[in-house]
Chains A and B, each alone.
Chain A
Amino acid sequence: MTEILYPILYLFAAALYILALKWMNSPATARRGVWAGETGMLLAVVGTLLRFEVVEYHWIMLAFLVGAAIGAPLALKMPMTAVPQRTAIAQAFGALAAALIGTAELFEARPHGFTLVALTVEMLLGYVTFTASLVAFGKLQELLPGRPMTYRGQNIANLGVLAIAMALGVAMNQTVDPTAIFPFFVGFSLLFGVLLIMPIGGADMPTVIALLNSYAGLSASAMGFAFDNKLLIVAGALDGSSGLILSIIMCRAMNRSFTNVLFGAFGTLQTSAKGEVEQRPVRSASPEEAASILDAARSVIIVPGYGLAVAQAQHKLREMYDILSKRGVDVRFAIHPVAGRMPGHMNVLLAEADIPYDKMVEMDEINGEFPMCDVALVIGANDVVNPAAKNDPTSPIAGMPILEVDQARTVMIIKRGMAAGFAGIDNELYYMDKTLMLFGDAKSFVSSLVKELGAQVAA
Chain B
Amino acid sequence: MHSYEVGLWIFLLAAFLGFELIRRVSPLLHTPLMSLTNAISSIAVVGAILVAGHKDASTLAKVLGCLAVTASTINAVGGYLITDRTLKMFKKRGER
Contact = CB atoms under 8 A, between A and B. Distances in A.
Nearest to A216: B41
- Residue from B22, B42, B43 whose CB has the most chain A CB atoms within 10 Å: B43
A96 to B, nearest CB: 5
Interface residues of B, number: 86
A55 B34 contact: no
B91 to A, nearest CB: 6
Contacts of B94: 356
Given A63-B66, A98-B44, A25 B26 contact: yes
Contact of A217 (B4, B41, B60, B75): B41
B86 A63 contact: no
Contacts of B51: 101, 104-105, 108
Chain A interface size band reads: 35 or more
Interface of B is mostly: helix
B34 A213 contact: yes
B26 to A, nearest CB: 7
Contact of B33 (A86, A229, A232, A242): A242
Contacts of B46: 44-45, 48, 227, 229, 231-232
B21 A238 contact: yes
Interface in A19-54: 20-22, 24-27, 30-31, 33-34, 37-38, 40-41, 44-45, 48-49, 51, 53-54
B37 A220 contact: no
Contacts of B31: 83, 87, 342-345, 347-348
A223 B44 contact: yes
A97 B72 contact: yes
Contacts, number: 376
A246 B34 contact: yes
Contacts of B21: 18, 21-22, 24-25, 238
17 contacts: A24-B36, A26-B26, A27-B90, A30-B87, A34-B80, A41-B80, A55-B53, A67-B77, A72-B78, A107-B60, A225-B11, A227-B47, A228-B4, A239-B18, A243-B37, A335-B28, A354-B89
Interface of A: 13, 17-18, 20-22, 24-27, 30-31, 33-34, 37-38, 40-41, 44-45, 48-49, 51, 53-57, 59-60, 62-64, 66-68, 70-72, 74-76, 78, 80, 83, 86-87, 90-91, 93-94, 96-98, 100-101, 103-105, 107-108, 114, 118, 209-210, 213, 216-217, 219-221, 223-246, 249, 335, 337, 342-345, 347-348, 351-352, 354, 356-360, 362
Closest 8 CB pairs of A and B: A67-B73, A344-B30, A241-B18, A71-B77, A343-B30, A237-B14, A344-B31, A71-B78
